[in-house]
Amino acid sequence: MTVEQNVHLEDIMPALQGVIPTIVATASLDHTPNVTYISQVYFVDEHHVALSYQFFNKTIRNVRENPVLTAIITCPVHYDLYKLLLRYEESQTEGEIFDAMEIQLEALASAQKKEGIFKLKAADIYRVISIEKM
Amino acid sequence: MEITDLEKLSAKLETSQRKMDIISKVSFELNKLVSLPEKLNTILDILDDQFNLSNSMILVPNPDQQRLTVVACHGYAEDQTGKTVPFGQGIVGLAAARRKHINLTGIRRKQHYMATVSHEGELNFVRPLGLADAESQVAIPLVANAELVALLMAESREFCVFSKEDENFLITLAQPLAVSIQNSMLYDSMEEKIRERTAELQRLNETKNKFFSIISHDLRGPVTSFQSLTRLFSHYHKLGQTDKIDNLCGKVDQSADNLNHLLENLLDWSLSQTNGIQCVFENIPLHAFFQQIVSLYKESLAAKEITLSLSVDESISLHADQHTLATAFRNLLSNAIKFTPRGGAIAIDAVRDDKAVIVRLSDTGVGIDKEKLCALFTLHGQRSTCGTEKEKGTGLGLILVKEFTELNHGTLTLDSGPGQGTRFMLTFPR
């Protein structure tokens, strides 16, 4: 992992709690870019993060074709911006990470009596290639 | 080592020290011998003081594991104690149902997002307890011996209040908390059992005392009476006064009847106290049943010139145990005769509807005052009251009536007042 300005994933934990939506940029095989917002980037370990795969959208399709993704996350405490360069590794449909992400989604949904509507298809695991404070 | 690294290390050390302090304080509280709610409230105070958990609560699952009830809370304007949430609903219900900790922040934005993508424009938040506008929530299930003992929930209107580190620390704290709560619950349930056992022992002691009181007092009377009658027999025999001996025979017969009635009640009562009565339920036609009961008291009714009216349709029957039902009504009728003055009236009638058979027995007797009504069906302070013509009893009759009515799945009510007679109403399910 290339760490710029000595930024570690553990140091930017508040930015990974999903208070402020994350901007993600992907590109298809023919290099057509796509920029969108996602709700949260989840911390997995010091070298990995996870993104929820709920709907098969353009971001997911692009990542499956071209596994590199850029995410801009915002620290809700100091409003610092961080650019994360990520590489897609795998999709997990069970296990600790998947369960933790799924239970959060279900907790939010059940508080609105919408249990079961927001199904988590998978937890997409990304390796962190670099973190850059913007 | 750079200064920033030293600062980080120092901060980490400080945090660890603070956590050790919290663990030490919480452990001290957990070991105190105080009631569970008191213990839990103190723990929530410590967590706020040391950990800034300004709004927190502890919930315990109901025995059916369908809902959680708040047993302690801290920092809320409105007391949350007693509020419930179903398993599976919201962060609290879901953490309990899955037995997994949940840490959420940015709750309102995420819920708005959900409402938008589900195309249901309006939000329909379900917040049965806690802060209505919480932005951060953490729920930690407290599990001991593979059993969900309780759930710790903390929340805030601020974002990112509970870091991953905080969450992990709360999980560490959850284990001793769970064990302590489980121990306290066991302790409380044992205390409850001891209270129940003590009450049962007191009841048995009262029963024993009553038993000895009846044997020493109530049985002694008829036996003494027999002794006197025997002496009189001998005396009149020596004098050759056979007409007087004939008179005495009637008294002997009556005395024997009373003694027999008393012994039957005593036996039934002692069997009921030791759960020794085996009910055999059968269909009992009530008209014939009451005719048989009334025939037993023909002479007593005639002796006091009491008229008895029986109004029970021949088609009415009751699914009950013959022996206990007969004992109950024998006692009710003898009681009515005992307390109805010469020339009075007693009425028995029965009606039925779709659900129940109702039997009413009323008399024009002396009635019962309010003070005695309260103690009528208990042994406590119960003494037999003499009838209008000094008839004696054991004080067990009405206790048996109530117990045997209940053995037949019935209920008993009565209405009475001094000088207004007494009306008993027994309701049995069909």
Which of B94, B117, B160 lies closest to A106 in CB terms? B94
pLDDT score of B195 more than 90? yes
Q: Span B342-350, mean pLDDT?
A: 95
Confidence of residue B124 (pLDDT cuts 50, 70, 90): low
pLDDT score of A102 more than 70? yes
Residue B251 main-chain phi, psi, to 5 deg = -65, -40
Instruction: Give the percent of chain B with pLDDT over 70.
Output: 90
Tell me how close the Cα of B424 comes to any Cα of chain A, in angstroms: 53
- Structure tokens given for B395: 């004080």
In a domain, A46, yes or no: yes
Cβ atoms of residues B244 and B236 within 8 Å:
yes
In a domain, A78, yes or no: yes
Touching check for B1 and chain A: CB below 8 Å? no
In sequence order, the 6+-apart residues with CB closer than 8 A to the CB of B252 are B226, B229
The position carrying tokens 């103690």 is B375
How many inter-chain contacts (A to B, CB under 8 Å) are there? 84
Q: Which CATH number characterizes residue A54's domain?
A: 2.30.110.10
- Structure tokens given for B361: 């027995």
In a domain, A81, yes or no: yes
pLDDT score of B177 more than 50? yes
Judge: A18–B110 Cβ closer than 8 Å, yes or no: yes
Which of B109, B111, B164 lies closest to A111 in CB terms? B111
Which chain A positions have a beta carbon within 8 Å of B95's beta carbon? 103, 107
pLDDT at B189: 84
Q: Angle at CA B40, nearest 5°, toward B38 and B46?
A: 105
- Per DSSP, the residues of B60-76 read EE-TTSSEEEEEEEES-
Which of B104, B118, B159 lies closest to A107 in CB terms? B104
In sequence order, the 6+-apart residues with CB closer than 8 A to the CB of B118 are A114, A117, A118
Q: How many residues does chain A have?
A: 134
pLDDT tens column, B231-279: 888 888 888 888 888 888 877 887 787 778 778 777 777 777 766 677 8
Amino acid at B113: Y
C-alpha dist (Å) from residue B194 to B31, B38, B187 = 22, 21, 10
Residues of the domain holding A60: 2-91+123-133
Instruction: Determine the Cα–Cα distance for residues A38 and B113; give it in Å rounded to an integer.
Output: 10
pLDDT score of A1 more than 60? no
Window 130-149 of B: residues touching A by CB (8 A cutoff) are: 135
Of the segments A86-90, B236-240, B388-392, which one has the largest average pLDDT value?
A: A86-90
pLDDT score of B116 more than 90? no
Q: Span B128-157, mean pLDDT?
A: 88
Touching check for B407 and chain A: CB below 8 Å? no
pLDDT tens column, A10-69: 888 888 888 888 999 999 999 999 999 888 899 999 899 999 888 768 999 999 999 999
pLDDT at B379: 66
Of the segments B104-108, B189-193, B258-262, B282-286, which one has the largest average pLDDT value?
A: B282-286
Which chain A positions have a beta carbon within 8 Å of B164's beta carbon? 13, 43
The domain covering B13-192 belongs, at the CATH homologous superfamily level, to GAF domain (3.30.450.40)
**What rounded mean pLDDT belongs to chain A?**
87
DSSP-derived 3-state class of residue B416:
strand
pLDDT at A61: 92
DSSP-derived 3-state class of residue B217:
helix
pLDDT at B113: 76
Closest CA to B164 of A102, A106, A14, A6: A14
Which chain A positions have a beta carbon within 8 Å of B171's beta carbon? none
Residue B84 β-bridge partners: B69
pLDDT tens column, B66-90: 999 999 999 999 999 999 999 988 8
**What rounded mean pLDDT belongs to chain B?**
84
Please tell me the CATH code under which domain B277-430 is placed.
3.30.565.10
pLDDT score of B160 more than 90? no
Q: Angle at CA B126, nearest 5°, toward B121 and B132?
A: 100
Closest CA to A124 of A73, A55, A76, A72: A55
Confidence of residue B425 (pLDDT cuts 50, 70, 90): very high
Residue A124 main-chain phi, psi, to 5 deg = -85, 120
Which of B93, B115, B163 lies closest to A112 in CB terms? B115
Instruction: Determine the Cα–Cα distance for residues A14 and A16; give it in Å rounded to an integer.
Output: 5
Which of A13, A103, A117 lies closest to B94 in CB terms? A103
pLDDT at B363: 95
pLDDT tens column, B310-330: 999 999 999 999 888 988 998
Q: pTM above the 0.90 mark?
A: no
Closest CA to B255 of B233, B223, B293, B215: B223
Judge: A43–B159 Cβ closer than 8 Å, yes or no: no
Neighbour-count burial for B393-416, b at 16+ CB within 10 Å, e otherwise: bbbbbbbbbbbbbebbebebebeb
pLDDT at A3: 45
Judge: B124–A103 Cβ closer than 8 Å, yes or no: no
Neighbour-count burial for B207-228, b at 16+ CB within 10 Å, e otherwise: beebbeebeeebeeebeebeee
pLDDT tens column, B4-32: 778 878 888 888 888 888 888 777 877 77
Domain ranges of chain B: 13-192, 219-274, 277-430
Instruction: Determine the Cα–Cα distance for residues A96 and B100; give it in Å rounded to an integer.
Output: 11
Tell me how close the Cα of A127 comes to any Cα of chain B, in angstroms: 20
